[in-house]
Amino acid sequence: MPETACIIAELAERLLAGGRRLVTAESCTGGWIAKACTDLPGSSRWFLGGAVTYSDDLKVTLLGVRRETLVANGAVSEAVVREMAKGALERLGGEEAVAVTGVAGPDGGTPGKPVGMVWFGWARRGVEGIVIRTAVERFPGDREAVRCAAVRRALAGLVGT
């Protein structure tokens, strides 16, 4: 993913210039965002690490997602990705976080949450507290294509594109 390397370089420059550090909370991407970040030499100066919380139980225990939120909304939802992003900052540290949860397929889709649906949460710690932005996308293709597109979108959201 050559375009991903360009996004990572831009992200690194922005984070370093602002003295900020990134953490990740990943479900359907399985650590791919963290891998993309650490592909850049010197990433330890701005990337702290992340949590791969594929199961609901780990979303609860590692990120502090409320079980009530999961029951009411399902893991693939705006409410859950918000709590994942916030929990990543609160529990892992850093000043910025990205969280991802979705249905990569080929199974697991429903009419309301089809294969390819991915929720994103971007959180920033600032003087006003933690501010969270969210977005949902529906990506075409097989499991690999959905996950690859989700990684690119998650990173692009961090650099504001």
- Tens digit of each residue's pLDDT (9 = 90 or more) over 76-88: 999 999 999 999 9
pLDDT at 2: 65
pLDDT above 70 covers a percentage of the chain that reads: 98
Q: Is the pLDDT of residue 44 over 70?
A: yes
Residue ranges covered by each domain of the chain: 2-159
Query: CATH class for domain 2-159?
Result: alpha beta
pLDDT above 90 covers a percentage of the chain that reads: 96
pLDDT at 3: 82
| Confidence band for 52, pLDDT divided at 50, 70 and 90 | very high
Q: What is the average pLDDT across 52-75?
A: 98
CA 126 to mean position of chain CA atoms: 19
- Round to whole Å and give the CA distance between 69 and 41: 38
Q: Is the pLDDT of residue 111 over 60?
A: yes
